[in-house]
C-alpha cells in the first residue's frame, strides 16, 4: 500500500519562488517540490541587470545566486523552459507547456505557490517591434541587449522612462560611451520622488551629458529596413540606433485571475500576512503580489526584489507549518546615477497628501562627511511628518557617495512608529569620515520639529 507524498508546485523560479522552495525543502525534506520556470535561469539578481549591460558585471554567472543544478541537488525538481498556462483549483492541477519538446501536460499539486513576477508595461505604438528596441526584465533580455551593443556598436541611444530602471540603463549607456537621450512622459523623472527632489536628479543627469527631455511621451518609432532609427514624440524625433524601454512593470497575475483568485491594487494578487491568497492551499509572493503598507494601512503594489525574497521566505515557512507572517513594507527604495545616490522611504509629500494626511516638510542640504574631511560630498534630505502628531511619514535623499543608505535609518524609524522628537535623539554613530556631528537626516528632522 503506497503512501501519498505531499506535492507543492511553484510557478516561477526566481527570487520569491525559489526562496519558498528552499525554505520548504530545508524544513520538510519529505515534501515533493516542483518548480516551473519558463526561462533559462533561476535565482538571479534582476536588479543587477543594468550593471551587466554597463560592463560593470563581467559575467552573467555572477548574477546567479543558485543555478537550477544547485536547486536540484537540494531536492527541488526544477523544470526550465516550462510555462504554466492554466490553474485548475477544483482538480488541483496546473497545465504546463514544455517549450523544449513542445509538449503540453498537466501536473497535480496538493498546495501551490504563484511567483510569476512582473513584466514590462506594453508600449503599443507604431514601430515597436523593430530590431534594436529592448526591455531589460530578465537575464535573457539583458544578454540580448549586451550582445547587440557589442556586435552593432551603436553610437546613439534613447532610454524611454525616467524611473529606477531608466536611470540605471542611461548610466549603462553613458558608461559605454553612447550619446544618450532620456525621454520621460511626465513633468519630472523619478515619479517616486517629490518634484523638488526629482529636480536634483535631473540636474545630475544633464551634467553627466544625458539629453533629458521631459513631457515627451513616445508616439512611435522610426525604422529603416526593420531596424530602429528614431523615437517619435510630440516635441520632436530623437535619433536612436538602440532603444531601451523602462516604462514600469505590471504583475503577471492572469493565471491567478483566471483561476478565480482575488486581485488587489493594480491587479496584483492579493495576499494576507502569511502570503496566502483567497484560494485555500494557494500562496503568492514577489512581483506578482501586493504587500501591506504599514503607513497607509492597506495593501499596495510596490514590487521590489527585497520584498520578493522576504515574501518567498514567509511562503516557505508557512508551508512548512511555521505560521510565519510578513509584517509589511514602508516603501523603501534606492538607486544611483553615476556618483549620485537616490533613495526614498515611507510616503512622499504628494503621496501623504493623497492619503489624507495633513503634513509638514523640511529640506536641508548638508555633506556626507564632516565638511572639512576629504571626500565630503553634497546631499539633500527631505523629511515628511504628520502635522498634528509629529509622527514621521517619510524621507527622500539625493546626494553623493555615502548619502543613500542613510535612508535605512529613517525606514527603521518608520517601522518603529517614531515621532520626530524620538528620531532626533537616536544614538547614531559619528566620526568625521562618516558624517557631520549631527547627521543630515537628523538635521532635517530638527528643522521639521520646529514646524510641528
Strand partners, 342: 335, 398
Check 47, 275, 288, 315 and give the catalytic one.
47
Q: Which of 145, 120, 157 is nearest to 247 (CA)?
A: 120
- Alpha helices in 365-449, H assignment, sequence order: 407-416, 420-424, 440-449
On the CB side of 139, CA atoms within 13 Å amount to 21
Distance in angstroms (rounded) separating the CA atoms of residues 140 and 284: 24
Locus of grid cell 540636474: 203
What the block records as the C-alpha cell of 320 is 512548512
Strand partners, 84: 96
Q: Which of 201, 237, 153 is nearest to 404 (CA)?
A: 201
On the CB side of 230, CA atoms within 13 Å amount to 8
Distance in angstroms (rounded) separating the CA atoms of residues 106 and 10: 14
What the block records as the C-alpha cell of 274 is 502569511
Is 47 catalytic? The answer is yes
Q: How far is CA 253 from CA 20, 258, 261, 292, in A?
A: 18, 9, 9, 18
Indicate which residues carry an active-site annotation: 47
Amino acid at each position: 500500500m503506497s503512501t501519498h507524498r505531499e506535492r507543492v508546485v511553484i510557478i516561477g523560479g526566481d527570487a520569491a519562488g525559489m526562496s519558498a522552495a528552499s525554505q520548504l525543502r530545508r524544513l520538510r525534506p519529505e515534501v515533493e517540490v516542483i518548480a516551473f520556470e519558463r526561462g533559462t535561469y533561476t535565482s538571479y539578481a534582476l536588479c543587477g541587470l543594468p550593471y551587466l549591460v554597463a560592463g560593470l558585471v563581467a559575467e552573467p554567472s555572477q548574477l546567479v545566486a543558485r543555478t537550477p543544478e544547485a536547486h536540484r541537488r537540494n531536492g527541488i525538481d526544477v523544470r526550465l523552459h516550462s510555462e504554466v498556462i492554466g490553474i485548475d483549483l477544483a482538480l488541483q492541477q496546473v497545465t504546463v507547456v514544455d517549450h523544449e519538446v513542445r509538449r503540453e501536460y498537466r501536473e497535480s499539486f496538493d498546495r501551490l505557490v504563484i511567483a510569476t513576477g512582473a513584466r514590462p508595461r506594453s508600449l503599443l505604438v507604431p514601430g515597436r517591434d523593430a530590431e534594436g528596441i529592448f526591455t531589460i526584465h530578465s537575464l535573457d533580455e539583458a544578454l540580448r541587449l549586451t550582445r547587440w551593443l557589442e556586435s552593432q556598436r551603436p553610437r546613439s541611444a534613447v532610454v524611454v522612462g525616467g524611473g529606477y530602471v531608466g536611470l540605471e540603463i542611461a548610466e549603462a549607456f553613458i558608461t559605454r560611451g553612447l550619446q544618450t537621450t532620456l525621454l520621460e512622459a511626465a513633468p519630472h523623472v523619478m515619479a517616486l520622488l517629490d518634484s523638488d527632489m526629482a529636480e536634483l536628479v535631473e540636474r545630475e543627469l544633464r551634467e553627466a551629458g544625458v539629453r533629458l527631455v521631459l513631457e515627451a511621451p513616445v508616439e512611435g518609432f522610426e525604422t529603416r529596413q526593420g531596424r530602429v532609427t528614431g523615437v517619435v514624440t510630440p516635441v520632436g524625433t530623437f535619433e536612436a540606433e538602440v532603444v531601451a524601454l523602462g516604462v514600469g512593470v505590471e504583475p503577471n497575475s492572469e493565471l491567478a485571475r483566471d483561476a478565480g483568485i482575488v486581485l488587489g491594487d493594480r491587479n496584483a494578487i492579493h495576499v494576507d500576512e502569511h502570503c496566502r491568497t483567497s484560494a485555500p492551499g494557494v500562496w503568492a509572493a514577489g512581483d506578482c503580489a501586493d504587500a501591506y503598507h504599514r503607513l497607509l494601512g492597506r495593501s499596495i503594489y510596490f514590487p521590489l526584489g527585497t520584498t520578493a525574497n522576504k515574501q518567498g521566505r514567509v511562503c516557505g515557512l508557512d508551508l512548512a507549518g511555521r505560521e510565519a507572517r510578513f509584517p509589511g513594507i514602508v516603501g523603501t527604495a534606492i538607486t544611483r546615477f553615476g556618483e549620485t545616490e537616490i533613495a526614498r522611504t515611507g510616503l512622499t509629500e504628494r503621496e501623504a497628501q493623497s492619503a489624507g494626511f495633513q503634513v509638514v516638510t523640511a529640506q536641508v542640504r548638508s555633506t556626507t562627511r564632516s565638511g572639512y574631511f576629504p571626500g565630503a560630498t553634497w546631499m539633500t534630505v527631505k523629511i515628511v511628518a504628520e502635522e498634528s502628531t509629529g509622527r514621521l511619514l517619510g524621507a527622500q535623499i539625493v546626494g553623493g557617495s555615502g548619502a543613500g543608505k542613510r535612508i535605512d535609518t529613517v525606514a527603521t524609524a518608520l517601522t518603529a512608529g517614531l515621532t520626530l522628537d524620538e528620531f532626533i535623539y537616536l544614538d547614531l554613530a559619528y566620526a568625521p569620515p562618516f558624517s557631520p556631528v549631527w547627521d543630515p537626516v537628523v538635521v532635517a528632522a530638527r528643522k521639521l520639529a520646529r514646524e510641528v
